[in-house]
């Protein structure tokens, strides 16, 4: 165990390719950025405890955090950024979760499951800010931030469960869904971390737009801090969060109320183009494989990986052709159109097909050999770039700079 002592001590257990001085300086920058956002540090002592081992995750406490990180994850830069995100995420919980919280989240009942419809506000808001504050602290470029944001949007839009499971339901069902994920979770559920962060992005941009830049989500956080003290009852489950936003930003002709009904209680698609348009960005979708808008690649809608020489289906998307044809997770794929396949051959043969073509998949389901015709579909776009408008207005440029603290 080594201690890197500064204003906020960091204790490190284990060794890898870490650079202690870098970790210290960057963590200091994170602490200062968040202190400035909330207008002070609400504790007397706080300690970062880092375990360099194998894995990734953190657990927040009121006056400390325990973070587990792979010992070799401090290089290259993209990998190091994930470490910084973890530091930022767990430290943000000093306020959001450990102080700003719905009533069921403290004092905890450690002996029973805790139910709340507001986990999206705890983990989604924190996930939105963990990376955004790295940009504001100068630890991540805005270009890199937009790349990661685009990747998150792709992941979200590749999750069929988004049409079935709202942020509120996903929060409430955490005990039976997110904590107990299975091969069908992506078809029936969403992550309140991922969708929560994207919804908060859009909500932040909406507040900025509706108030002509006078207010942002930062103000909502400060409002929540001031109105729901640590020894108080917490944010009311019913309408408490919306009320805080409207208290800060006004009702805006029901804009926020509608957003909550559609995107937090409901399962409407998130309108990324609207929110990102406010800051002068547009979305450009494309394909990983060669394909164009007129001629998208053929798509099977499943993932398969080789296990001990067998090509096993690991995931089937409920909005794809394999699902419609009745292919299951754990099916062992043997041949395509009568010829043996492995992972590479499956992808190579598929790339020669066109949407609308029928292929014959031969597979083992347990011991039974099956021949399954599948009509291939047009692949949904799976690559996204967030691109500045050619001629953004001065308002859009100003909003972009204010949003990212540039
Ligand atoms: Zn968290």
CA of 130 to the centre of ligand 1 (A): 9
CA–CA separation, 368 vs 349, rounded Å?
A: 24
Secondary structure element (H or E) that encloses residue 303, with its range: strand 302-307
Report pTM.
0.95
- How many angstroms is it from 194 CA to the middle of ligand 1? 11
State pLDDT tens for residues 306-336. Answer: 999 999 999 999 999 999 999 999 999 999 9
Confidence label for 141 from pLDDT (cuts 50, 70 and 90) = very high
Closest Cα to residue 311, out of 303, 319, 323?
Answer: 303
270-289: per-residue pLDDT in tens? 999 999 999 999 999 999 88
- Confidence label for 182 from pLDDT (cuts 50, 70 and 90): confident
* Ligand 1 mean position, distance from CA 68 (Å): 13
> Shortest CA distance to 38 belongs to which of 98, 94, 76, 89?
94
Ligand 1 centroid–CA 96 distance in Å is 9
Query: 90 C-alpha to center of ligand 1: Å?
Result: 6
Question: What CATH number has the domain bearing residue 303?
Answer: 2.30.42.10
Residue 6 pLDDT > 70: no
DSSP letter string over 21-83? HHHHHHHHHHHHHHHHHHTS---S--EEEEEEES-EEEEE-SSEEEEEEETTTT-SHHHHHHH
* Position 293 confidence tier, pLDDT thresholds 50, 70, 90: confident
Mean pLDDT over 285-310 rounds to 90
Task: Please indicate, yes or no, whether residues 212 and 331 belong to a single structural domain of this protein.
Answer: no
Instruction: Write out pLDDT tens, residues 237-251.
Output: 999 999 999 999 999
User: Ligand 1 centroid to 125 CA: how many Å?
Assistant: 9
Residue pair 8/25 in contact (Cβ under 8 Å)? The answer is no
Query: Residue 371: pLDDT above 70?
Result: yes
Q: How far is the CA of 88 from the centre of ligand 1 (A)?
A: 10
Range of the domain at 311: 298-378
Q: How far is the CA of 66 from the centre of ligand 1 (A)?
A: 12
229 and 355 both lie in a single domain: no
- The stretch 352-356 carries a mean pLDDT of 96
What confidence score (pLDDT) does residue 120 get?
96
In a domain, 115, yes or no: no
What is the CB-side half-sphere exposure of residue 118 using CA atoms within 13 A? 19
The pLDDT, as a whole number, for residue 105 is: 83
Ligand 1 centre distance from Cα of residue 212 (Å): 31
**Size of the chain in residues:** 406
The domain tally of the chain equals 2
Spatial neighbors of 325 by CB under 8 A, at least 6 apart, are 361, 372, 373, 374, 375
Distance 97 CA to ligand 1 centre (A): 8
Q: Which CATH number covers residue 193?
A: 1.10.390.10
Q: Which DSSP category does 187 fall into?
A: H
Same domain, 266 and 164: yes
Would strands 377-378 and 298-299 be described as parallel, antiparallel, or unpaired? antiparallel
Look up residue 138 and give its two tokens: 């100068």
pLDDT for the residue numbered 106:
77
């Amino acid at each position: 165990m080594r201690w890197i002592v500064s204003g906020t001590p960091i204790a490190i257990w284990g060794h890898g390719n870490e650079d202690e001085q870098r970790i210290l300086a960057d963590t200091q920058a994170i602490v200062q950025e968040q202190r400035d956002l909330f207008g002070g540090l609400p504790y007397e002592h706080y300690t970062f405890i880092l375990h360099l081992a194998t894995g990734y995750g953190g657990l927040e406490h009121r006056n400390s955090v325990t973070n587990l990180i792979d010992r070799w994850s401090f290089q290259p830069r993209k990998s190091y950024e994930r470490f910084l995100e973890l530091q930022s995420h767990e430290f943000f919980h000093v306020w959001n979760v450990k102080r700003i919280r719905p009533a069921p989240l403290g004092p905890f009942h450690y002996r029973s499951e805790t139910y709340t419809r507001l986990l999206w506000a705890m983990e989604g808001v924190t996930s939105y800010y963990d990376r955004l504050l790295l940009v504001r602290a100068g630890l991540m470029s805005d270009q890199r931030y937009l790349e990661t944001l685009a990747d998150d949007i792709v992941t979200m839009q590749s999750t069929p469960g988004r049409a079935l499971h709202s942020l509120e339901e996903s929060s409430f069902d955490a005990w039976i869904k997110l904590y107990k994920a299975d091969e069908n979770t992506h078809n029936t559920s969403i992550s309140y971390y991922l969708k929560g962060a994207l919804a908060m992005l859009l909500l932040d941009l909406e507040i900025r737009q509706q108030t002509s830049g006078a207010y942002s989500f930062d103000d909502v956080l400060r409002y929540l801090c001031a109105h729901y003290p640590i020894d108080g009852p917490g944010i009311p489950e019913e309408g408490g969060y919306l009320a805080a936003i409207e208290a800060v930003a006004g009702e805006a002709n029901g804009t926020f109320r509608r957003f909550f009904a559609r995107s937090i209680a409901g399962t409407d698609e998130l309108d990324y183009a609207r929110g990102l348009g406010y800051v002068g960005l547009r979305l450009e979708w494309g394909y990983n494989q060669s394909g164009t808008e007129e001629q998208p690649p053929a798509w099977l809608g499943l993932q398969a990986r080789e296990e001990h020489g067998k090509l096993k289906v690991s995931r089937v998307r409920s909005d794809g052709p394999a699902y419609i044809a009745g292919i299951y997770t754990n099916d062992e794929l043997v041949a395509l159109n009568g010829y043996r396949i492995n992972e590479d051959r499956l992808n190579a043969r598929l790339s020669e097909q066109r949407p609308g073509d029928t292929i014959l998949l031969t597979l083992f389901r347990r011991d039974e050999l099956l021949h399954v015709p599948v009509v291939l579909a047009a692949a949904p776009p799976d690559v996204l770039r967030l691109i500045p408008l050619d001629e953004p207005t001065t308002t859009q440029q100003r909003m972009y700079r204010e949003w990212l603290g540039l």
